[in-house]
Amino acid sequence: MEQVLQVLISGILSGGIYALASVGLALIFGVVGLVNFAHGEYLMLAMYIAYWIYNFSGLDPYQSLIINLAIMAVIGYITFKVIMERVLDSDHSIQMLLTLALSMVLQNLALMFWKADYRNIRIDMTNDTMNLGFLTFNTPRVLAFFIAIGASILLYLFLQKTFTGAAMRAISQNGKAAQLMGINIKRTYGLAFVIGTTLVGLAGLLISPIYPAFPTVGASFSTLAFIVVVLGGLSSVPGAIIGGLVIGVVESFAGYLAGPAYQQAAYFLLFILVLVFKPNGLFGRS
């Protein structure tokens, strides 16, 4: 029983990170209508930024959080203005090919500048553990979980309680009607893209003391984020949070019951089942 509880909570802790990496993708898809295949590469960039700040200034990822997020917001804004804004009215296939190409470019730029070496951030907290009764948890994972869930809830409250959040929800429901009501569509698109990029950057920063940075690290998280977003209902932020937790638990139990080699197979199987039996996801609109 103790082992089952340990596996369950470990899965929930991982799921919090998956949720944070996914809510930005859900926001961008829901508001901008853009399927961003380069989403994971922003996570990779945030990990490299955390690594280089740590090496040059000695600031650990938590101390450099504001700097890292500010850089990610600027990168997101430049990406939107220089690239994404030009294809907003294009066919979805053009947008998907563009973001896929952007993903390849970012991966290869990382490979060119920083090589394929794994870059680890080893701070004092990296191997710290916390005990709760008979349960033991890695401290960076616990910290990452609470920050990730807190950020996801703040995003949800922003969307529900602010005028700008209401504008984003209006655009996600009917863009033309929202424009007729006086909402600046392109500015709202840009803000949604910047928030989504910053959130996945936060996820990258939080996992940087746990996972090494390397050029293709974003690809696996990008795949996970797409599964989580589909599971949660494509544009639903609460759905992405719940979906991330579900995927984390499924992955954790698959590793415990069948071995680490079957973790990916387990959540891909769940992905297929959702597409077959509930294609709109758990919280999606029909």
Whether the CB-CB separation of 223 and 22 falls below 8 Å is answered with no
Question: Per-residue pLDDT for 1 more than 80?
Answer: no
pLDDT of amino acid 284: 64
Residue 84 has pLDDT above 90, yes or no: yes
Please write the tens of the pLDDT for every residue from 23-48: 889 889 888 888 899 999 999 999 99
CA–CA separation, 39 and 27 (whole Å): 12
What whole-number distance in Å separates Cα of residue 259 and Cα of residue 257? Answer: 6
Pick the residue with more confidence: 129 or 250? 250
Token digits of residue 277: 């039996």
Would you say 76 and 196 are in contact if contact means Cβ atoms under 8 Å apart? yes
What is the mean pLDDT of the segment spanning 75-97?
A: 92
Strand blocks (E) in 133-274 = 135-138
> For residue 286, what pLDDT is reported?
57
The pLDDT, as a whole number, for residue 285 is: 61
Residue predicted with more confidence, 208 or 233: 208
